[in-house]
Amino acid sequence: MKRKFQGLAVLTLASIVASGCSITGKADMQRTVTINENVKFESSLADSSLSVVHKKTIQIPIKADYTGFQGENIYYNQNGKTYLKNIKTHVETKLADKAFFAISENGNRALSFVDGKVYVLDFETNSEILIGHGTDTYLYYFADPDGKEVIHVDSGEELSVHVTDVDSLKVKTWYLNNRFALNNFTLTSIKKDVDGIYVAAESLENGYGLYHLDNNGNMKTISTLENIDSLDNYDFLDKNKIIFNDIYNGKSGIFIINLQSNEVTQLVAGGKDEEGIWVPFYKLSPDQSKILFDTPVQVGNEYKTNVYMAELVNNQVTNPTRIMENADLYAVISLTGFWSPDSKTAYISTSKPGNDLIDTVEVFTLQ
C-alpha cells in the first residue's frame, strides 16, 4: 500500500514520539476503525494524555473527496457545478456554476479549470475571475488562507513561478532556470510572503537549501538544510522556526529546525524495515498549540492508520493521545485532518478501502 502523498510506503509501526531529543547540526470492506470515546484514553506514548471526547461520527451521503473537506463544510462537484453541504445543519447550497479543484483555507474562494482556462470562484460576490490558462491543475494553488493570491508554477521551457493578485490581476514572476536544478524540486516547497517567495530546492551555486527570492529577484540563503533530505512539506512557526516532516540525518519523522542556530529537534519518529522508510505527517491547529499526526499500523495483510492528537509546547510534542486506531483515511492526516478556527475541535475524514471518496467524518473535541 502507498500513502496517498508522494508515494511514501506505509510500513509497520515503530517507536512514535522521540524523547525530546535535540539533534545539533545542521472494494467495500467492513470498517475496522476504533474510535477512543473516553476523555482520558491511556496513550501508549506517554503517561499523560489530553482530555479529548469523540463527539460523533457523521456519515457523508454525497460523493466528495478531500480537496473540498473543511471539517463541518464539505465542498463537492456535481454536474459541473460547485456545491457546499454543512454536515452539522445538513443545509446544501450551490455556490458556483463551475466545478472546482481547490478551496481556499477560509472557504470563500475556489480554483476552477474549464476548457483550458483557470478561474478563481468568489463565493461571497458570486463572481468568477479568469487568472490564466493551462492543462495541469496541480500547477495552480492558493498562496494564502483567504485566496487573495494564486501561485502558478510554469514547468515549460523555462521554470518560473507566477503569483497573481486575484483582485487586481497583477502578476509577479520569478524565473528559476538559471538558479535551481530541477531535481529535488517540488511545488509544495514554494511559499509566498509579503516580500517574495520561499523555495526549497537545489541551487546551482550553493546546493540544496531553503532560499528566499525577494520581489526584486534577489536571492538569500535561509538555511543550508544540512542532513535534511528534502523540505517538501513545512510550515513556519515563526520567522526563525520551521516544522517539517521528512528524513533528517537518516531518520524519518516530524522535526523543528531553528533557522538561526540550524539546530534540529525531532518531535515524532518515523520508521523503517526491510521494505523501506515511512514518514509521519501532521496537521497543525490554527493557533499552533496542538497537532494531529499519523502513523501506519499493520492489521493482518493490510495497512491502516493510527491518529494522535497532542500539544506542541516549547518545541516539544506533549500529552500525545491516540484518538483513532486502524482507520482508513483517504490520505495522510495533513490532507484529511481539519481543525476548527478556535483550535478546539478536530475533524478527520475517512474512506472505505478501495474507494477514494469521503465516507465519514469523525469529530473530536478538547475538554
pLDDT in tens, 82-127: 999 999 899 999 999 999 999 999 999 999 999 999 999 999 999 9
CA distance 123 to 95: 6
Cα three-residue angle 58-331-19, rounded to 5 degrees: 100
Least confident range of 16-30, 133-147, 162-176: 16-30
Q: Say if residues 319 and 289 touch (Cβ distance below 8 Å).
A: no
pLDDT digits (tens, 9 = 90+) for 51-85: 899 999 999 989 888 899 999 999 999 999 999 99
Q: What is the arithmetic mean of pLDDT over 224-239? A: 93
pLDDT digits (tens, 9 = 90+) for 148-207: 999 999 977 788 999 999 999 999 999 998 999 877 678 889 999 999 999 999 999 999
Q: How far apart are the first and last CA of the chain?
A: 35
Predicted structure pTM score: 0.86
Which residue is listed with cell 480554483? 111
